Amino acid sequence: MKMKKLLVLGLSAVMAAAMLTGCGGSDKKEEKSLTVTEGTLTMATNAYFPPYEYYEESDEIVGIDVEIAQAVADKLGLELKIEDMEFDSIITAVQTGKADMGLAGMTVTEERKQSVNFSDTYATGIQSVIVKEDSAIKSLDDLQGKKIGVQLSTTGDIYASAEPEDGGFGKDNVEQFQKGADAVNTLVAGKIDAVIIDNQPAISFVKSNEGLIILDTEYVQEEYAACISKDNEELLTKVNEALAELKEDGTIQSILDKYIVAE
Ligand code: ARG
């Protein structure tokens, strides 16, 4: 009796090993099923983007996106797990199944839509220009030929790096940073002339650094949404349903109001 059981166990172990090694051709699929953990909603973000996501003193990530993701996870009966990474890794993480969704104050763009699906939008933003208080730069026109700091691969980067005839300032005038805060520190140090970044982080950076102001100019309005793998239509539907309920019952608005104080 015992022997038989052992044999069965032994056999299935061999079979499992054969299956693992035999699946060389479908690496991608295998990776996906291994990384998406049952019962968990893994959110990819870049936690240097207050008030959407940032570290609070300790090593806890807080912010609008965290609370919205938590509310969505609660609705779906999943446990929320946050993966902090570079902003330009988020879409890849979602595509490869390293994360179930990206929530990072991410703007819906046509180009990103080629790679991922976007949920319904839950917030909006505009790009703002931060300069030093005593700067000679007073308008967007004054920015031509100046050194502009941006966070790598963000919409601010995309707009600023475009050629002047397309409304930008040209790649050569743009310095890319991994974190928005690094761009701001470089501005404070006087090594660049301006930073282009979303309005809410801009307000937060200007508050936490002396001698900075936001120029009174606006870019087009952007829509923030969660990005989800094109292979996971089911999650997209569920997230949209959850977001709709959270909008309906006022949860999203109260989260926004908690972090965004009217000026
Ligand atoms: N809204 C901008 C974009 O989508 C910037 C987002 C940056 N987010 C972040 N968590 N660092 O490109």
Indicate if ligand 1 lies below 6 Å from the C-beta of 177. Answer: no
Q: Taking the model in full, what pTM does it have?
A: 0.85
Indicate if ligand 1 lies below 6 Å from the C-beta of 200. Answer: no
Which of 239, 235, 231, 238 minimizes the C-alpha distance to 32? 231
C-alpha of residue 53 to centroid of ligand 1, in Å: 10
User: Which atom in ligand 1 lies closest to the alpha carbon of residue 197?
Assistant: 5
CA distances to 45, 112, 140, 183 from 123, rounded to whole Å, are 16, 17, 25, 24
Indicate if ligand 1 lies below 6 Å from the C-beta of 127. Answer: no
Written as tens digits, the pLDDT of the chain (263 aa) is: 333 333 333 334 434 444 444 443 444 443 343 345 679 999 999 999 999 999 998 789 999 999 999 999 999 999 999 999 999 999 999 999 999 999 999 999 999 999 999 999 999 999 999 999 999 999 999 999 999 999 999 999 999 999 999 989 999 999 999 999 999 999 999 999 999 999 999 999 999 999 999 998 877 789 999 999 999 999 999 999 999 999 999 999 999 999 998 75
Cβ count within 10 A of residue 132:
16
Indicate if ligand 1 lies below 6 Å from the C-beta of 135. Answer: no
User: Which atom in ligand 1 lies closest to the alpha carbon of residue 45?
Assistant: 10
Indicate if ligand 1 lies below 6 Å from the C-beta of 105. Answer: yes
Cβ count within 10 A of residue 9:
10
